[in-house]
Each structure stands twice: as C-alpha cells, then as structure tokens.
Structure 1
C-alpha cells in the first residue's frame, strides 16, 4: 500500500477505535440496565461528550466512517434476525395488523407533523422510528434522507421517552382489556417502539406473550426495507444537483437487508454464525449511534420547542389505537 494511502487510512483509526471502545463498554453494561439497549447507551454517551467536554478533531474522520458505512452494515445484518416463515405463521390478521400499524402510524405522523409545523426531515425520522423499529429505523431514515444529526438525536430521544412509557402502559392495557397471552403479545409487538422495550414489556406479561411480541416486532422490522426504499426514491427525486444522478434508485444497503432476510428465511447459515452476525449487527449500530451522538448539539434541539414531543405523543396514540383495534378483532374472531 502506498505511503499516502496509509496516511489517509490512519486518520480514521482514532474515531473508529473510540467508538468501538464505547460500544464494548455499552454492550457489557446494557444487560444490567433494562430497558436501555447498547444503541441508546452509546448515543447518550456521545451526546454527553459533545455537550459537556471538548471533542478532539482527530476523532472526526473516523466518526464519519462509523456514522455511514458501519451504520449501513448494521442495518444489513439486521435482516438476519428475520425469518419470513415466522412472520407468516402469525396468521392473516397479524400480518394485516403489522402492515396497518406501520402504514397508518407513518401516514398520520407525517400529516400531523405537517400541521404542527415540524420540519419535513424530522417528521420522516419520527414517523419511521415510531412506526417501524425505533432507533435503528431512525438511523436508517437518516441514511437515505438529508436529515441532520440534531434531528436524528431528537427522534431517538422521543423513541426512548415514549417507548419507555409503553413498558408499563402496554401490559396495563392488556389487563384492562382482558387480552389473553397471545393477543397481549400481538398488542405489545405492534405498539412498542424498540426491540429491547418489547422484550421488557412482553416479559412483564409472560413468556407466551413475549414469544409472540418478538415475532410481531420483527414483522414490523421487515417493513424497514420497503419504507427505506420509498424514502430513498423520494429523496432522490427531490434533491437537486449532481448527486441526484448518482444516487441509486434503491439504496444498496436496503438490497443487502433484503438479501439477509432471504438467507435467514432459507436457513442458509448455522446458528453459531447467526449469533455472531447478531453480535456484529448490534455492535455496528451501537458504534453508529455513538458517532451520531457525538455530533449533536443540545442547544439546537432545544430550539425545536415542544412540537416534536407532541408529535411523538400523537404517533404513540395512533399505534396504540391500531393495536387495540387488532386485539378486539382477534378476540372477536377467536370467540
């Protein structure tokens, strides 16, 4: 390798090394801090560092690498968690409910956000995070739109706030409406934002509900591909300039995500390899969240005012409404 290339690549090492170190620590302590995931811990660490202490410029080149290519690697590997057969085994009511929850929540969030005057980019991030799979969906949406890091941090913060509220609220609603274990799992999987939050809420109800909730949640994650492809296409059409011609019709990482879903669905990888891929996927997304957090200025977020918080509440209420309708339909048909 020529000396000039070695020098160029060497500039990325400090940022990547720090992100990896923070991620390693987060993955060690996360199991003891439910419902916080390594992704949320690393992002909060990055935000705290940026706003409380100086950030060395030497970290910035590596930070850019972590924030984009490594992020996309994590989203691609997320597909290996999803077996299409498990999703389809839920039955037609659950499948319709999954598509409806994502579609209705996304559409209502975008429409209400427009009425509230929330910036279009932030609306997209909030709509993706609340309708699909929390922080990973927010990061994926950032990757295919022109959203900035402050918008991303705001959307992730809202996911944390309302997803945490859903941990006690979801199980409470299942008791209030007299849902059986399977219906309760369906409701929690449909309405809770982060996978870690789904595990926490489902675990409160019981093992049977948790098993259903996780599969339903992964069904929502599966819709990450068409939503990201659609947002990428919209952004490609709306952005002006030379970059518009170079951007792919469907982002390459979305194709990779779909390929990984196919690989998992066909059982082409042995369990040890799947476990290793899950570990790498979590680490990659956690590193990316740290990089995003390291570029967040809290003063900029504070300037947004209460409107994003109101939008988050509307999005959560919308997906809860879809979940309750689904639970009622399931109970009626079962009776």
Structure 2
C-alpha cells in the first residue's frame, strides 16, 4: 500500500515550503532532502519508514522525481540559453563534462562501491540530488548507493550558500561575474537562487540561466549512460545466457523533459500556466527528495564514507575552480 508513504512525502514537501517561506534563504528542495535525512535517522521513525511508509516513499522517489524533471523542462527556453553567448555556453558545457569525468574517475580510483562514482559525478556536475535521482533509475542503483551521493551533494551545496558570498568581493568579481560563478558552480537550482540573490536581480538572472544550461545537459548525459547500460546488459546476457533486460535508449522522462524544453521555447504559454507548472514541479521534486533522503543512513556513511567525502569535496572544489576560471575569461 503506497498511499501512507506518499501522504507523508507530500506533507514533508509542504512543510519544506512553509519553512522556505519563513526563511527564504533556505532552498525548499534542500530543506526537503534534509527533512528526509533527519527523519530517516530518527530511531522512533525508522520502523515506519522501512515498513508501512516504504512503498509510498519509493514511489515518490521514482515517479514523482521523473514527473518533476519533465516539468523542469518548462523552465528552460533555448532562446534564453542562446542569449548567454557561445563562449559562456561552451565553457558551461566544458565545466560540466570535466567535472563529470573527473569525479567519476576519482570515484573509481578510490574504489567507491556500487554505482556511487557515477551518481556523485552526476549530482555534482549537473543539478544536485534531482540529477542523482534521475540517474539512479537508469543505472538501477541500490538505495545504499544513492544515499551517500545525496547526503554529500546536500552538504556541499549548503556549504556553497555560505562560502561563495564570502569569497565574492575578495576575488574581485563584479555582480554579474558572481552570478555566473554561482550558476556554473553550485549544484541545485534552489541553492543557486539562495546564493546569487544577494548580488541583486541581474546577477540572479544570469545565475539561473547558466544553471538551467547545466540542467539541460542532464538529458544527453543520461541518454549516453542509458546506451552504455544497454550494451552492458547485452554483454552480461550473452555471457550468462540470461534473459536480456535492457533499459530504453532514451528514458521516457528524458524524452518528456526535452519535449517540455521545446514547448517552453516555441509555444507562447501563459504566465499562469508556467507559474503553476513551476509550483507543481517544485513540490513533486520536494516529495521525491524527501523519499530519497529518508533512505540515507548517516551512521553507515560516517563509518564507511571517508572516501566518498573526499570525492565529494574534491568535486565541489573542482567545479567551483573551473567556474571561477570561466567567468574571468575576457
């Protein structure tokens, strides 16, 4: 029975929305995943979360996540992205690819277990916990493999909200350069907004467009990984003579995301429709992230997560450094 878990996830998303309204500097999605992590590590809640609530929380973490990512496409207009100019677009793409490959390589080098290397690489290079949730379904990651990357990207994204503004003026960045740096170097969309807004509306606008350019790269990267998974499943089936169970070349939610981007770009949607879709998307992702956060076992991560923490902090430093170099290009 999935209804109790879905209701709890929805209630947690609503609570995160209320907390965000009271404390606007705290991103709603970061609050949602934090609530999930806290709930998942309370002994009094453990039995319910792993028992009667488990089916609904898993449904929220998968179905709600995918629907939310489809609706996220309605935030992306190709016209806005092209307005950044080719230098900014190409450096943003390069930063994402270098961070993804570098983080994945480091994760494999230090022998992180299971699918953690690719999930950490996805979350840190593209769009935080939402990207991790999207990729985990494609690579069929176990909950234990998903939990550590989510905890790490939440921690580092929250640190970015505090650290980057402190470095703004000492680095000699203009308001627009700061917004560009935040958009290119901070993980979650909400964390980008929380960090860039202190530099004014112009910096915030640049930060959001640069960030959404990174989000757009979720589709091709997930599609490429899906192709790799198909080939891997085929090889395994050939060797073991087992039935072939291959993921689709392009996951349905990725196709939906791209379709939503095209609709946003070419269809004159009313502001009310866009605002409504944005609200629905935000709360669907909040409910999904609560479900993902509830699977995080901090005790297990603290006992075994030293290498994962090293990879996460290194990836955070890498993307922030690459983004800083990009904004200072002539």
Q: What TM-score comes out, normalization by structure 1 length?
A: 0.89
Q: Which residue of 2 aligns with 1:47?
A: 37
CA distance in 2, matches of 1:275, 1:151: 34
2:131 equivalent to 1:141: no
**Which stretch of the first structure deviates more once superposed, 49-58 or 306-315?**
49-58
2:115 corresponds to 1:121: yes
Tell me which residue corresponds to 1:190.
184
CA drift at 1:246: 4.7
Deviation at 1:50, TM superposition (A): 3.2
| Structure-2 residue corresponding to 1:219 | 213
Return 5+ residue gaps in structure 2 as ranges: none
Per-residue CA distance 1:139-166 (angstroms, 9 max, x = gap)? 1111211222233222122112222222
Query: Do 2:30 and 2:191's aligned partners in 1 also have CA atoms closer than 8 Å?
Result: no
Mapped contact 2:16–2:28 kept (Cα < 8 A): yes
Paired residues, what number? 320
Which residue of structure 2 lines up, in the alignment, with residue 267 of structure 1? 267
Q: Contact between 1:39 and 1:289, CA under 8 Å: does it hold in 2?
A: yes
- Say if 2:4 is the partner of 1:14: yes
SS at match of 1:318: helix
* 2:328 match: 328
Q: Which moved more, 1:169-178 or 1:310-319?
A: 169-178
Shift of 1:244: 4.4
Q: State the partner residue of 2:58.
A: 64
- Aligned partner of 1:27 in structure 2 is 17
Distance 1:304 1:154 in 2: 10
> What is the rounded CA distance, in whole Å, between the counterparts of 1:12 and 1:165 in structure 2?
35
Q: Which of 120-129 and 255-264 deviates more?
A: 120-129
Distance 2:312 2:26 in 1: 19
**C-alpha deviation, 1:109, in angstroms:** 0.4
Larger mean Cα displacement after TM superposition, 294-303 or 256-265:
294-303
Distance 1:77 1:178, change over 3 A: same
Q: What is the CA RMSD across the aligned residues, in angstroms? A: 2.0
Inter-CA distance 47–184: structure 2 relative to 1 (3 Å threshold): closer
Of 233-242 and 11-20, deviating more is 233-242
Q: Deviations along 1:114-172, whole A, 9 cap, x unmatched?
A: 22222351111111111111111111111211222233222122112222222243234
Deviation at 1:91, TM superposition (A): 0.6
CA distance, structure 1, for counterparts of residue 294 and residue 313 of structure 2: 27
| Contact residue 35 and residue 164 of structure 1 kept, 8 A | no
Q: Residues 168 and 43 (structure 1 numbering): CA distance in 2 closer, same or farther, change over 3 Å? A: closer
Work out whether residues 127 and 215 of structure 2, in 8 Å CA contact, stay in contact via their aligned partners in 1: yes
Bigger mean CA deviation after superposition, 252-261 or 64-73:
64-73
> Is the alpha carbon distance of 1:181 and 1:43 closer, same or farther for their aligned partners in structure 2, counting shifts above 3 Å?
closer
Q: Which residue of 2 aligns with 1:92?
A: 86
**Deviation, structure 1 residue 111:** 1.1
Q: Is the 8 A contact 1:49 1:55 kept in 2?
A: no
Point out the more displaced range, 97-106 or 296-305: 296-305
Segment drifting more, 18-27 vs 75-84: 18-27
Question: Given the alignment of the two structures, is residue 103 of structure 1 paired with residue 89 of structure 2, yes or no?
Answer: no
Give the structure-2-normalised TM-score.
Answer: 0.90
- Secondary structure (helix, strand or coil) at the match of 1:119 reads coil
Alpha-carbon spacing, 1:293–1:244, altered in 2? closer, same or farther (3 Å): farther
Query: Any residues of structure 2 matched to 1:228-243 within 5 Å, and which?
Result: 228-239=222-233, 240=236
Point out where structure 1 has 5 or more consecutive residues left out of the alignment: 1-10
Does structure 2 conserve the Cα–Cα contact (< 8 Å) formed by 1:98 and 1:216? yes
Aligned counterparts of 1:145 and 1:320: Cα–Cα separation in 2: 27
Deviation at 1:35, TM superposition (A): 4.4
Instruction: Give the Cα–Cα distance (whole angstroms) in 2 for the partners of residues 94 and 204 of structure 1.
Output: 22
Give secondary structure in 1 for the equivalent of 2:304: coil
Q: Which residue of 2 aligns with 1:131?
A: 125
